[in-house]
Amino acid sequence: MVAVFALFTTSLHSTLLGALLTLSPTVWYASYASAAGPGGLSALEDQQLAGLIMWVPAGLVYLGAALALPGAVLRDDGAPAPRRRDPLGAAG
């Protein structure tokens, strides 16, 4: 359950920061404002694109993990794993 909580908390941080970067009407870092982004993007467009990438694709990855983790816990029946024999013949 700790893993689910940690995943949820991390996804909140990533989603919130990505949304704030994407929706911000101004460049956050003054030193970056004068620099041109790759591909001829303005500093604001570059910041918004970075926020969008952080928000949407990363959010989908977190969503996939958030669905897979509880699913794996629910599939676990709680039975101990069967004991395997050592290839050298010793019980183990």
> pLDDT digit string (tens) for 48-74?
999 999 999 988 998 888 888 877 777
Report which of residues 89 and 74 the model is more confident about. Answer: 74
The Cβ of residue 78 has, within 10 Å, a number of other Cβ atoms equal to 4
Distance between terminal CA atoms of the chain? Answer: 30
Q: Phi, psi (5° rounding) for residue 34? A: -85, -15
Across the range 32-61, mean pLDDT stands at: 86
Q: Phi, psi (5° rounding) for residue 57? A: -60, -40
Q: Which of 60, 62, 32 has its CA nearest to residue 47? A: 32
Query: What is the CB-side half-sphere exposure of residue 10 using CA atoms within 13 A?
Result: 13
Q: What is the predicted pLDDT for the residue at 24?
A: 94
Q: What is the predicted pLDDT for the residue at 91?
A: 57
